[in-house]
Amino acid sequence: MTTFDPCMVCESTDFEPLKVSNWKITGVGDLDVSFGLCRDCGHISQNPCPSDDVIEAFYRELSNYFHPEPDWSPPPVPAAETTKRLVGAARRFKPGKGSLYGIGIGSGRDLIYMQRQGWDVSGCEPSPTAAKQAGDLMSVDIEVGFADECLTGGRTFDVIMLSHVLEHVAKPKDMISLVHDHLDDDGVFLLEVPCARQAHRLCLGWLTLEHLSYFSTDILVRLLEEAGFFPMEITLDDWSHKYPTVTVVARKALDRVRREAPYLNQYAANKDLMEAHLRIDRAHWHAAEARFQHLKTAYVYAAGVHTAQLFSETNLLNKIEVVGIADSSPLKVGKQQGGRDIISKDQFLAGYAGQHVIISSYNSETQIAEMLAAEGIPAEKIVRLYT
């Protein structure tokens, strides 16, 4: 019987298992990943939580939170809705500007636009590659590490930004408290996370290794209020990402927020949501599986978490002789996934002898297909699974 970790929101260990998968993660190996629903508050999370070693290995070495083009420079006006929302909120709620600290800033795609608006920006990022890229882009030293390693001492800021980070964190309450500790008394917290709502808008493989929490709006508000924040503005966006998001602008409250009524248990609502999502998800994987049933041998292109999901959710590894797995990231080349060697794009092109190429990336399917076509791989040999 599984022993569950205490709920990240309410500390209960009364969890209902939703899904258990065995994923073959590049550089980590075979990993059982379990998702569950708290019966006492309704929070959806990975439970048991993966070990710190797995999480650290994943972020420090394997993940791709840097921009693939080293000389990339962001366009004058941000393209991403998230960036526009966060920049706009910072301007409206702190018109006088000041200091702004970003936690888990990746390659600095949001933070640079804050700097261009006149904010005195700084931040931290666990991936050294991404931190370097962001630092070079903004001519600012970005601290390499997790927030609790970097945000120490009595430093405070006018604004702290957490954009698509909290869902990656094993202890979200500690992270929110850390933000509270390091904000000025009237400081503003900018927070955006994927939102557990609208089952038909949740992407294929929405339950994924990197995301430990799947917040619904009510649960996020609860966490913020319990930590001493007043949520001032909540924006739901169902269309800009591959899944719905929720953006909260919250002000630091000097007194703890007092609430008379207990928080509503979201269990029933989230159970309905997850049943619908898992049903839709299975149908999507069946459809993907149908695209390669006629093949005997093939290359697989991309060695990410989505490939691990593909191997787990479909019969690909049993059905097809996989000649090799190609990936454009130098961090992955030379490692293995599912017992198959990961080769570079150049190695793949040098060894290519007319086989089919199954594109296993979900997020980059179109770009990879275009790249393969540009390299002369015939269209009938390129197998797309998702579009």
Question: Does 12 contact Zn ion by CB under 5 A?
Answer: yes
Contacts with 276 (C-beta within 8 Å, 6 or more apart), sequence order? 199, 200
Q: Count the Cβ atoms, other than its own, within 10 Å of residue 32.
A: 11
In the sheet that 356-359 helps form, which strands lie side by side, from edge to edge?
A: 336-337, 340-343, 321-326, 297-301, 356-359, 382-383
Find the binder of Zn ion among 7, 89, 124, 203 (CB under 5 A): 7
CB of 239 to Zn ion, least distance (A): 29
Region of 12-20, 71-79, 253-261, 263-271 interacting with Zn ion (CB under 5 A) = 12-20
Torsion of CA 131, 369, 319, 339, to 10 degrees: -30
Burial 253-267 (b: 16+ CB within 10 A, else e): beeeeeeeeebeebb
Residues touching Zn ion: how many (CB under 5 A)?
8
Region of 5-13, 159-167, 178-186, 211-219 interacting with Zn ion (CB under 5 A) = 5-13
Q: What phi and psi values does residue 120 have, to the nearest 5 degrees?
A: -85, 100
CA-CA distance, 249 to 133, in Å (whole number)?
Answer: 27
Contact track, Zn ion, 276-315, x by CB under 5 A:
----------------------------------------
Helix (H) or strand (E) holding 188: strand 183-194
Find the binder of Zn ion among 10, 86, 142, 342 (CB under 5 A): 10
Contacts with 251 (C-beta within 8 Å, 6 or more apart), sequence order? 93, 186, 187, 188, 189, 229, 230, 232
CB of 4 to Zn ion, least distance (A): 10
CB of 216 to Zn ion, least distance (A): 12
Region of 4-12, 170-178, 264-272, 370-378 interacting with Zn ion (CB under 5 A) = 4-12
In the sheet that 120-125 helps form, which strands lie side by side, from edge to edge?
A: 143-144, 120-125, 99-103, 157-163, 183-194, 245-252, 229-237
Q: Which of residues 77-136 bind Zn ion (CB under 5 A)?
A: none
**Whole-angstrom Cα Rg for the chain:** 22
Find the binder of Zn ion among 9, 25, 87, 274 (CB under 5 A): 9
CB of 36 to Zn ion, least distance (A): 10
Q: Which is nearer to Zn ion, 38 or 159 (CB)?
A: 38
Instruction: Work out whether strand 15-25 and strand 99-103 pair parallel, antiparallel, or are unpaired.
Output: unpaired
CB of 38 to Zn ion, least distance (A): 3
CA-CA distance, 142 to 125, in Å (whole number)?
Answer: 7
CB of 269 to Zn ion, least distance (A): 14
Q: What phi and psi values does residue 345 have, to the nearest 5 degrees?
A: -60, -45
CA-CA distance, 120 to 98, in Å (whole number)?
Answer: 6
CB of 264 to Zn ion, least distance (A): 12
Q: Which is nearer to Zn ion, 213 or 314 (CB)?
A: 213
Q: Which is nearer to Zn ion, 80 or 170 (CB)?
A: 170
Q: Which is nearer to Zn ion, 38 or 227 (CB)?
A: 38
Question: Does 222 contact Zn ion by CB under 5 A?
Answer: no
Q: Which of residues 23-82 bind Zn ion (CB under 5 A)?
A: 38, 40-41, 43
CB of 185 to Zn ion, least distance (A): 30
The contact set with Zn ion (CB under 5 A) reads 7, 9-10, 12, 38, 40-41, 43
